Structure formats: structure tokens, C-alpha cells
Amino acid sequence: MRNDIERVLIDEAVIEKRLDAMAGAIERDFPQGTLVVIILLKGALVFAADLLRRIARPIEIECLNVASYHGGTQSSGTVDFLDRQFPEVRGRHVLLLDDILDTGRTLHAVIARLHAEGAAAVHTGVLLAKDKARAAAVSADYVGFEIGDEFVVGYGLDYLGKYRNLPYVGVLKAAVVGAGEAGA
């Protein structure tokens, strides 16, 4: 896998330090009591696991399966909810975690759904936010790192299902992306 990476954008030590700060900010900002966290699968799994273990609070974890990429490097433009049942969020303060804020369509759609399901408040945290104009008007309350508008993998983010377990965020070699797109 390492051979497929053109360059490491954010290494493990830098991510860990940033997660310490994010966890501290979340603990300070959220009202006392149990924190309800919704993790967007599969991309936010690694980020959420490392972030939540830094928060010394009772936490209820829910996961949501949404799809917006369908495999490649371009967002499909639609957000599909894949679960048969939606988590019970009525009257709860929710922290929604995703791996990356790109066009904004995913967070926008999930936030709207959480409000429609009666959540009392929705806060959002992302590991990465691409520095670009969003297709949907949304911002995240907690952002790990701002990055340029390029496709990245690792630390939960995949390309065609691979690279999620890389311990850093990196950029794939053009030849790897080219070969994948040709085979898709």
C-alpha cells in the first residue's frame, strides 16, 4: 500500500496531537451528560475511534451508512441513506462525525435528516475539510485539518475500498488512480 502513495499529507503524530485538542474542545463545549455520537460509515470509523477514546464522558455511539461516492474519486451528487432504521435522536444533542467535508452534500443531507427526526441540536466534526466552495451550504463545528482540493486516502478514507487502514492521510500516485478509473 505504501508504494501507491505519492506523498504523506498529514502524518500519524500530527493527527494524534490534533485529536487531543479536538477532544478537549468537544468536552468543554458539550453540555454535561451523555454524548450522543453518530459516526458516518465507513470513512469516519478510524477518526471516530481515536477521537472518542480521548473524551472522558459517557458516550452513546450510533452509526449511519450513507453513500455519496460509489467507489471512485468524484462525488455522485446524491446522498443515499442505506440503513433500514434511523437512530433514535428525538430531543438529543448529537455530535455527527464524518471523515471529510468536500462538496458538503453529505453533511447537509444528514443534518437535515437529524433535524427532521427531532434532534434537539446537531454539532459536526470532521477530520478534514477541503478548501473549496461547497455545493451545499454547510460548515463543520470541529475541523481537524484544512486541506487543498485533492483526493486523499488513509486514516479511514478509501479509494475503491482500499487504504482505510493507513495510519496517515496521503495522496495516491496518479498511475494508481488512473489504473483504478480505467478498471471501474
Which residue numbers are catalytic? 102
CB 169 within 8 A of CB 9: yes
Asked whether position 145 contacts ligand XMP by CB under 6 A, the answer is: no
Asked whether position 99 contacts ligand XMP by CB under 6 A, the answer is: yes
Nearer to ligand XMP, 54 or 68 (CB): 68
Binding residues for ligand XMP, rule CB under 6 A, total 20
Nearer to ligand XMP, 69 or 86 (CB): 69
Longest CA pairwise span in the chain (Å)? 51
Asked whether position 158 contacts ligand XMP by CB under 6 A, the answer is: yes
CA geometry: angle at 142 spanning 86 and 163, to 5°? 75
Site for ligand XMP in 11-50 (CB under 6 A): 40, 43
CA 16, chain centre distance (Å): 16
| Residue of 92, 110, 113, 93 lying closest to 101 (CA atoms) | 110
CB 127 within 8 A of CB 145: yes
What is the smallest separation between the CB atom of 8 and ligand XMP, expressed in angstroms?
15
- Residue from 75, 86, 87, 181 that binds ligand XMP (CB under 6 A)? 75
- Residue from 106, 110, 127, 166 that binds ligand XMP (CB under 6 A)? 106
Q: What is the grid cell recorded at 134?
A: 461547497
Q: How far apart are CA 7 and CA 169, in angstroms?
A: 9
Residues that bind ligand XMP (CB under 6 A): 40, 43, 68-69, 75, 98-106, 151-153, 157-159
